[in-house]
Amino acid sequence: MTLVKIDAVTLAVWPNLNEEYWVGASDKDAEGSWKWTDGPLVSLKTGSGGLWESGEPNDAGWSGASENCAFISTALKMNDVPCSIIRKYVCQGGGAR
Ligand SMILES: [Ca+2]
Ligand SMILES: [Ca+2]
What is the residue extent of each domain of the chain?
A: 1-97
Distance 95 CA to ligand 2 centre (A): 31
Picking from 31-35, 63-67, 92-96, which range would have the lowest pLDDT averaged per residue?
Answer: 92-96
What does the alpha-carbon distance between residue 21 and residue 14 come to, in Å, rounded to a whole number?
11
Q: Give, as residue ranges, everything with CB less than 5 Å from ion ligand 2.
A: 56, 58, 60, 67, 79-80
How many Å apart are CA 44 and CA 50, to the nearest integer? 7
Q: How far is the CA of 3 from the centre of ligand 1 (A)?
A: 18
CATH number of 1-97: 3.10.100.10
Percent of the chain with pLDDT over 90: 86
How deeply is 66 buried, as exposed, middle or buried, from its count of CB atoms within 10 A (0-12, 13-18, 19+)? middle
Q: What are phi and psi of 32, to 5 degrees?
A: 90, -10
Give the per-residue pLDDT at 64: 86
Its pTM stands at 0.91
Distance 56 CA to ligand 1 centre (A): 10
Q: What is the pLDDT of residues 6-46, one digit of tens each?
A: 999 999 999 999 999 999 999 999 999 999 999 999 999 99
